[in-house]
């Protein structure tokens, strides 16, 4: 019986360590957001921490990460909007956000690190929602988010790119870390953020994994 309880304790500690959430809200949040009316959800910054598949060129990697960025952006937008019924603000449509970025010659990747106050002016919004995702595998099944990927990239990913460390059956669970922040457009102050660390079951569809992360990140979105 003692061994049984020890086993339960170990399992509980593993689950807790794999599912961590940290939140922050600025002390002046209410005052800083008093006049906010419109918020833009930015393309999501993707950070790959695994071993790069040998068959991918730098151009391939850029294309994959930008496709993933768009997919996470769509998912985060949907997750936040699903909780926005009583919020006293509006969210700029993703089409408008991305159109304005493109008109200014700002690529998806460039938008990840572009100056926050300048972006707010370009987009005509009061605040930005930024997200940064760290993971060890690339994704290929992004069609559910309206994101297409070149056939040659899909072939490479499905052959080897998704599993660069161990075969899938031996390495199907890894952590994904995501940090989502609300940035004040006037002075680039971080008004709120949430850091989420979750174990991702890579036997599940990419859509499930992405939505699971963004739903956790959208929980308790302020305003």
Average pLDDT, 10 consecutive residues per value, the chain (223 residues): 44 46 95 97 95 83 92 97 89 98 97 98 98 91 78 60 42 80 98 93 88 93 93
Residue 2 within a domain: no
Radius of gyration for the chain, computed over Cα atoms and rounded to the nearest angstrom: 19
Residue 92 lies in a domain: yes
Quote the strand ranges of 136-214, DSSP E: 173-184, 190-201
pLDDT of residue 50: 85
Q: CATH no. for residue 194?
A: 3.40.50.10610
- Rounded-to-integer distance, Cα 41 and Cα 9, Å: 40
Query: Three-state DSSP class for 42?
Result: coil
Amino acid 140: pLDDT: 76
Q: Has residue 18 been placed in a domain?
A: no
**Does residue 40 lie in a domain region?**
yes
Q: Which domain holds residue 167?
A: 23-218
Using a 10 angstrom Cβ sphere, with 0-12 exposed, 13-18 middle and 19 or more buried, the burial of residue 222 is middle
Does a structural domain hold residue 10? no
Predicted TM-score (pTM) of this structure: 0.83
Nearest to 195 by CA among 217, 211, 214: 217
Cβ atoms of 136 and 174 within 8 Å: the answer is yes
Question: Tokens representing 186?
Answer: 């006037």
Find the helix or strand (DSSP H, E) in which 134 lies.
Answer: strand 127-135
Report pLDDT for 3: 46
Per-residue pLDDT, 143: 81
Is 12 part of any domain?
no
- Return d(Cα 170, Cα 162) in angstroms, integer: 13
Q: Is 187 helix (H, G, I), strand (E, B) or coil?
A: coil
Count how many domains the chain has: 1
């Amino acid at each position: 019986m003692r061994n049984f309880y020890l086993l339960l304790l170990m399992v509980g500690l593993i689950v807790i360590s794999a599912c961590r959430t940290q939140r922050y809200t600025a002390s002046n949040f209410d005052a800083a957001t008093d006049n906010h009316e419109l918020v833009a959800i930015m393309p999501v910054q993707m950070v790959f921490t695994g071993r790069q598949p040998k068959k991918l060129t730098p151009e391939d990697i850029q294309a994959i990460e930008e496709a993933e960025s768009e997919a996470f952006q769509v998912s985060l937008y949907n997750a936040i909007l699903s909780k926005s019924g009583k919020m006293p603000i509006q969210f700029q449509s993703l089409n408008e956000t991305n159109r304005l970025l493109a008109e200014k010659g700002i690529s998806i990747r460039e938008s990840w690190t572009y100056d926050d106050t300048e972006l707010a002016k370009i987009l005509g919004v009061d605040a930005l929602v930024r997200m940064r995702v760290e993971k060890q595998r690339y994704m290929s099944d992004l069609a559910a988010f309206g994101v297409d990927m070149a056939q040659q990239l899909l072939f490479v990913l499905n052959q080897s790119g998704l599993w660069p460390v161990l075969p899938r059956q031996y390495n199907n669970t890894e952590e994904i870390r995501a940090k989502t922040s609300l940035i004040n457009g006037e002075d680039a102050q971080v008004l709120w953020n949430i850091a989420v660390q979750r174990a991702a079951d890579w036997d599940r569809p990419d859509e499930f994994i992405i939505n699971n992360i963004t739903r956790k990140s959208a929980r308790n979105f302020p305003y």
